Amino acid sequence: MSGTQWGLAISVFLACTVEGVEAVTIVLAVGTTRSWRSTMTGVGSALVALAAITAGLGPALTALPLGVLRVVVGGLLLIFGLQWVRKAILRASGLKDLHDEDAIFERERQAAAGAGGVGEGLDPYSFTIAFKGVLLEGLEVVFIVLTFGANQHDVPLAAVAAVIAVALVVVAGVAIKGPLARVPENTLKFVVGVMLTSFGIFWGAEGAGAHWPGSDAALLVIVPCVLAFAVLNVALIRRRTPARKAVHA
Amino acid sequence: MSRIRAFGAFLYDFVIGDDWRIAAGVVVALAITALAATWWILPVVVAVMLVVSVWSVARAQP
């Protein structure tokens, strides 16, 4: 595998791990509190919907000319990645609450417990929460897999990395039967944001007709520069606002 | 109609997120890059947009 393919596989793996952890927290909270059958029906339905979206968008994306694909998808990836980096900087600076799976699990569990009784048939609450949770987190996985895979002309590699990540998270969630709070999610989000932004910068500029000095090797400079710039911003904000209270930004 | 609006709101939140200026900056930077065919414009604009976005939140704190 080339360096770019390793970058692709690692980025997709980490991104899918984060999204998988968030989806598993929601599914476990609703499943253990209400109805496993309805929850798993919701999970299955969401997976079918995600498969249909992937089947529809995947071939359409890969059919685009490489230049168009890279400028459009590279731009989308860059906007998407900058959202992640922005939130990661705000979290690491103390300006935004850290992502806490234990707290989210407890909140979802209490909401599920307070949502009325569970009847004999399909429980609409369990179904809807599980469906929405898996679909929304899954859409991010699909977006990342398709954009990375299509740009690199290696959707299968991106898909394999995603499947391994999600499988590991599901196995861990089933084994622990609780939120995967020990996964360093905030750090992973920071790293994923840096990777998405770096690849977005690289592919976006190439798609727009620019040529990077050193071609693919430019990524070896872009990734550390984006990381260093993000860390520098965190340090400067922390120094300016040492005891600031986190807010929802 | 409300479903279309809800889907539009979801797409906006999914792609654009909390700060629309970042998305606008990226689009403008890509357009300039396409015109100038120069690699350094995009990283410079990205750096500026990121600083503007995170520091506007930092400065808004009392």
One digit per residue, the tens of pLDDT, for chain A of length 249 reads: 777 788 888 988 998 998 899 899 999 999 988 888 999 999 999 999 999 988 888 788 777 787 788 888 889 889 989 999 999 999 999 888 887 888 888 888 888 888 777 777 888 899 999 999 999 989 988 888 888 888 777 888 888 999 999 999 999 988 887 777 777 888 888 999 999 999 999 999 998 989 999 988 899 999 999 999 999 999 999 888 765 555 444
**What confidence score (pLDDT) does residue A67 get?**
76
Q: B48 and chain A: CB distance < 8 Å anywhere? A: no
Query: Long-range contacts made by residues A226-234, C-beta under 8 angstroms, separation at least 24?
Result: A226/A85, A226/A194, A226/A197, A226/A198, A226/A201, A227/A194, A229/B47, A229/B50, A230/A85, A230/A88, A230/A89, A230/A190, A230/A193, A230/A194, A230/B50, A233/A89, A233/A93, A233/B50, A233/B51, A233/B54, A233/B55, A234/A89, A234/A92, A234/A93
Q: B52 and chain A: CB distance < 8 Å anywhere? A: no
Nearest by CB: B15 against A71, A80, A197 = A80
| Residues of chain A with C-beta less than 8 angstroms from the C-beta of B50 | 82, 85-86, 89, 229-230, 233
Q: Do A75 and B53 touch (CB under 8 A)?
A: no
Q: What is the 3-state secondary structure (H, E, C) of A27-85?
A: HHHHHHHCCHHHHHHHHHHHHHHHHHHHHHHHHHHHCCCHHHHHHHHHHHHHHHHHHHH
State the pTM of this model. Answer: 0.83
CA distance A21 to chain B (A): 19
User: Is residue A93 within 8 Å of A241, Cβ to Cβ?
Assistant: yes
pLDDT bin (cut points 50, 70, 90) of residue B59 is: confident
CA dist., res. A48 & res. A77, Å (int)? 24
**What confidence score (pLDDT) does residue A188 get?**
87
User: Is residue A249 within 8 Å of A90, Cβ to Cβ?
Assistant: yes
Q: B18 and chain A: CB distance < 8 Å anywhere? A: yes
| Residues of chain A with C-beta less than 8 angstroms from the C-beta of B42 | 78, 201, 204-205, 208, 210
How confident is the model over B21-48, as pLDDT tens digits?
999 999 999 999 999 989 999 999 999 9
By percentage, how much of chain B surpasses pLDDT 90?
58
Please give the residue of chain A at the shortest CA–CA distance from B43: A201
**What confidence score (pLDDT) does residue A245 get?**
52
Q: Do B58 and A80 touch (CB under 8 A)?
A: no
